[in-house]
Structure 1
Amino acid sequence: MQNARDVLTPDSLTMLQVIAEAGSFAAAARRLGLVPSALTYRVRQIEDALDVLLFDRSARQARPTAAGAELLREGARLLGDIDAVAHRVRRVATGWEPQLTIATDGVISPHTMLELVEAFFAMAPPTRLKLRDDIMSGTHEALTSGRADLAIGVSVAGSDVAGLQQALLGELLFIYVMAPHHPLAQAPEPITDAVMLQHRAVAVADSAQRGGMTMGLLGGQDVLTVDTMQAKLQVQLRGLGAGFLPQPMVQPYLDAGHLVTKRVARPERRVRMHYAWGGPGFNAPGRALQWWLAQLQSPTTRTALLENHHRF
């Protein structure tokens, strides 16, 4: 009998993913250019080596068992690790990264990011860009887990991750806002936590896969949670809740009377935002990352990333 190392190859893990995506052995065999019997034999070899059943064959469809689903999850992670190794090897060889992944927090101006992307592509570099949207500690986690090469808008102070470097982007003031027809818009200032507790809060879910942060929420408070800062803004414009938002993001809505801000009894909330790069095994930035780091050295660019939320 073969052991697990013999059967858990990149090809076999990819094959299992194709079966799960296709939904049947016959459909997967067509995609892979194999006869169904050969595909079934290869799967049985893996099952025998692991001593588990990976797919439920009681129906015509191939449904992963609980063990199969776990192997698919871990297999996807292993294949990602292999791709990351190849990515690093190619980067060392050419100087230009094949792909540069940038994680940006929801407080970062999308307009300024796209202006930077335009300027980057104007050089016709060989590097592909991948932009990720993350929230709170998820932006930092994307970098430290290897899913991103550069993180813009990191609010986590410091890190004990070897090789990680960061620099100050700027400071953001978060203010408490709500729609003018929301009950809190008429409440006397400063608004205390006891008063806040009586009204629904709007929160953005931390995108970190492990742990995560919560900000400005009270125990026992009714909470509406959304995935992005833009969704939070839209929810609060409709009067469905109140919450803290970056002052540059909401200022035009305050000026137009679509939102109102209220002083709160708790201390003013200013958050120092950073950008970060590097991590385990990091030696020196490739040419693409060097370009982005050079742009971030500009005070004008850093300010625009935090404040340029509206185009008129």
Structure 2
Amino acid sequence: MHNAITIDALKVLDAIERKGSFAGAASELFRVPSAISYTVQKLEDDLGIDIFDRTGHRARLTPAGRYLLDEGRALLDATDALAHATKQVAQGWETRIKIAVNSLLPMEALYPAIREFQALGVPVEIQLVEEVFTGAWDALQCRRVDLVFGADAMSRPAGQFMTRILGQIPFRYAVAPDHPLTRHQGPINEEVVSAYPAVVAADSARHLQPGTTGIFSRQRTITVSNIAQKISAQKAGLGVGWLPEPLIRESLASGELVELNVEAVRQPAVIHLARHQDNQNGELRCQGNALKWFWDKLSEPHQFSRWIDPHTQ
């Protein structure tokens, strides 16, 4: 099927409108004026409309012509972006990289690295996806993401993955300051804690077995979607539970949350940077420059010390 609207015709219309005349467009596009006139006339004939009002000394767009050019410029921008992106792919850059962020960590922990990446000027689309607990490994195993920031050691599935330890996240058992448990004297045992609902962040795994931790037997639960909502619910006095210490440090200092002395112990979560390993030598097959850049950048030590403690054996 013949398409009357071509990229070349749109470039001609754009040049005429910007230069104010057919002659100006011909000069910019290195064509003779008759070639410009022919392109416009053919487009008008094919569409059955007048694109320019030629009654005055200056060619003016008709309403239909204005609409065509406005929409056409979006296509011109898209084709320029496509050409540029194609060149970048040929040079080894992906068009998109997807990074899963464990809900134990704030999304803003990645912002400095993303800002630095943007300064490179490469047209790579970055997608950040929040995952909860085993969901981070699930997303990587199923290749919904290219890289995981904060994959925990406990829920790692079988498979060929490359990992680098980022550190560990300690937990505190905390509640709202007016919660009844704050009036309890001495270490609080499981039987006492179990009388109150636990706020639980739902594991986002789709295929791997979802994990559960920090819930006492016979304890009722209130399930939310992520760690931020869990913190909010516990601040509101709706329930109890373990919370990542770096994310509640300020709330503990301000008194919005109060740490309880519980008999139970929860070990810190050792978290990793993780990606697929697609061959025996530990190097990625068809590794993209963006993935390599983020892998190296996020592996640099001490940049996440605000949210992640050093890992000690």
- The normalised TM-score by structure 1 is 0.65
Equivalence for 1:65 = none
2:88 & 2:183 partners in 1: Cα distance? 58
Amino acid at match of 1:275: L
Equivalence for 2:115 = 118
> Which of 193, 198, 203 is 2:195 aligned to?
198
Superposition map of 1:121-200 within 5 A: 121-157=118-154, 158-162=156-160, 164-200=161-197
Question: 1:29-82 CA distances to partner (integer Å, 9 max, x unpaired)?
Answer: xxxxxxxxxxxxxxxxxxxxxxxxxxxxxxxxxxxxxxxxxxxxxxxxxxxxxx
Equivalence for 1:287 = 289
How well do the aligned residues superpose, as a CA RMSD in angstroms?
A: 2.1
* Percent identity for Structure 1 against Structure 2: 29
CA 1:197–1:91: 2 relative to 1, 3 Å: farther
Amino acid at match of 2:263: A
2:289 & 2:99 partners in 1: Cα distance? 14
Amino acid at match of 2:141: T
1:303 maps to 2:312: no
1:243 & 1:232 partners in 2: Cα distance? 9
1:238 & 1:303 partners in 2: Cα distance? 28
Question: 1:145-197 CA distances to partner (integer Å, 9 max, x unpaired)?
Answer: 000000011113454312x1011011111110000101111122312111111
Compute the displacement of 1:279 (Å): 4.5
Q: Is the 8 A contact 1:200 1:224 kept in 2?
A: yes
- Which protein has the bigger helix share? 1
SS in 1 for 2:128: strand
Compute the displacement of 1:252 (Å): 0.6
2:113 & 2:245 partners in 1: Cα distance? 23
Question: 1:69-122 CA distances to partner (integer Å, 9 max, x unpaired)?
Answer: xxxxxxxxxxxxxxxxxxxxx998541111100000111122221222222111
Q: Which 5+ residue runs of structure 1 have no aligned equivalent?
A: 1-89, 308-312
SS in 2 for 1:303: coil
Q: Which 5+ residue runs of structure 2 have no aligned equivalent?
A: 1-86
Superposition map of 1:28-39 within 5 A: none
Compute the displacement of 1:301 (Å): 1.8
Equivalence for 1:103 = 100
Compute the displacement of 1:128 (Å): 0.8
2:254 & 2:307 partners in 1: Cα distance? 23
> Which of 219, 225, 243 is 1:245 aligned to?
243
Compute the displacement of 1:294 (Å): 1.6
SS in 1 for 2:273: strand
Compute the displacement of 1:135 (Å): 0.4
2:266 & 2:212 partners in 1: Cα distance? 17
SS in 1 for 2:205: coil
1:284 & 1:274 partners in 2: Cα distance? 23
How many correspondences in the alignment?
218
Q: Is the 8 A contact 2:246 2:306 kept in 1?
A: no
Equivalence for 2:3 = none
Compute the displacement of 1:267 (Å): 2.3
Question: 1:186-232 CA distances to partner (integer Å, 9 max, x unpaired)?
Answer: 12231211111100100100000132111111232110010011111
- The normalised TM-score by structure 2 is 0.65
1:200 & 1:280 partners in 2: Cα distance? 44
SS in 2 for 1:300: coil
Q: Is the 8 A contact 1:169 1:274 kept in 2?
A: yes
SS in 1 for 2:262: coil
Compute the displacement of 1:142 (Å): 0.5
Q: Is the 8 A contact 2:164 2:299 kept in 1?
A: no
Amino acid at match of 1:223: T
2:260 & 2:146 partners in 1: Cα distance? 39
Superposition map of 1:206-221 within 5 A: 206-210=203-207, 211-221=209-219
Superposition map of 1:56-95 within 5 A: 93-95=90-92
Compute the displacement of 1:296 (Å): 1.8
* Structure 1 segments (4+ residues) deviating >6 Å: none
Equivalence for 2:229 = 231
